[in-house]
Homo-oligomer: A and B are copies of this chain.
Amino acid sequence: MSASARPEDTARSILAGDVRAAARLMRAIDDGLPGAASVLGLLHPHTGRAWLVGVTGSPGVGKSSLTDALVGAWRARGLTVGVVAVDPTSPFSGGAILGDRIRMQQHACDPGVFIRSLATRGQFGGLTASTRGVAAVLDAMGKDVILIETVGVGQDEVEIARMADTTAIVVVPGMGDDIQAIKAGVLEAGDVFVVNKMDREGAGRTAGEIEAMLSLGGRGDGRDQGWTPPVVLTCAVDGRGLPELVAAFDRHRAHLLAEGGWRLAARRGWAAQAELLELVKARLMQRVQARLDQDGLAVLAQEIAQKRRDPYQAADQILAAAMRDTEEAPWPAM
């Protein structure tokens, strides 16, 4: 964000279609600049129209090729597309290896497609909050579909999956320890399953295992009970299975929008809860970090490492001290 731009002006420019202003805001979100939240707050009433699609899976399952193919399919239907490629980066160097420039070259000149990689420099759980922020900018820009691509199978990915309207989990056959390949939490986060690289040995077996696991497990805690996730076999590089995958996404969207759209509303309510908790967590940790810098985190840590201080008591004391620093602010009216 340039120091001179007022949040109102930036928000107005983005809503008027200024792509460079949008790109600057995304950069500010990724860098964790404090001004970004005010602009996002102003854009918030103008979001909610886009369809958020999450695509997640381990490294090497072919998510980038699949994203590429999906973008092509949606563009062929005249839909505009935003892509957020989440790229967990170093807490040590802040550098990201994977960049926009090596991705999605076939869509690079299409004005109906906007691609942004997130390097997530922030140290304290900023990944999910940044992803939501960038998706919100794309939404406010008027993109019809926003695809959020994440690498991994852990807690971070499940949290990102929670923000999407439709989430696809991508696996490949023969990943070795099949029982490890899909964890319970990740399994339950999927609305659509993709077995990519369908020519590899064991593709049918992998699909059958996923179906078996899905039929075993309950889908509790706010997830949609009325939807049985389909398992689709694809070969992203030559396009086989792509029409079936696009159709599976469409069916899920129709399911969310059926009966007045109460399922979509409920799902977005859950997503907003997760967003709120993420935002509070990020703000809390910024404040604790500021307090700790001030009071000598390194000294405390050395005392703990030398077994002269109990870390659990120290944590309680830090918490109490950080909270004492807080100025008064009103509780949001219900």
Tell me the complex Cα distance, A159–B38, Å: 30
Nearest CB of B to A243, in Å? 23
The answer to whether B273 touches A298 (Cβ under 8 A) is: yes
Q: B residues within 8 A CB of A156?
A: 154-156
Nearest CB of B to A145, in Å? 19
Partner of A95, one of B95, B124, B184: B184
The answer to whether A177 touches B59 (Cβ under 8 A) is: yes
Residue of B nearest to A96 (CB): B184
Beyond A47-B307, A184-B93, A185-B89, whether A176 also contacts B326 by CB under 8 A is no
Nearest CB of B to A211, in Å? 15
A246-300: which residues lie under 8 A (CB-CB) from chain B? Answer: 265, 268-273, 275-277, 279-281, 283-285, 287-289, 292, 295-300
Chain A 85-99: CB-based contact to B (< 8 A → 1; otherwise 0): 001111111011110
Tell me the complex Cα distance, A213–B330, Å: 50
The dominant DSSP class at the A interface is helix
The answer to whether A326 touches B320 (Cβ under 8 A) is: yes
Chain A 314-334: CB-based contact to B (< 8 A → 1; otherwise 0): 111111111110111111101
The answer to whether A98 touches B334 (Cβ under 8 A) is: no
The answer to whether A276 touches B295 (Cβ under 8 A) is: no
A39-94: which residues lie under 8 A (CB-CB) from chain B? Answer: 40-41, 44-48, 58-62, 64, 87-93
Chain A residues within CB distance 8 Å of chain B? 37-38, 40-41, 44-48, 58-62, 64, 87-93, 95-98, 102, 124-125, 127, 151-159, 172, 175-185, 187-189, 197, 213, 217-223, 265, 268-273, 275-277, 279-281, 283-285, 287-289, 292, 295-302, 304-307, 309-324, 326-332, 334
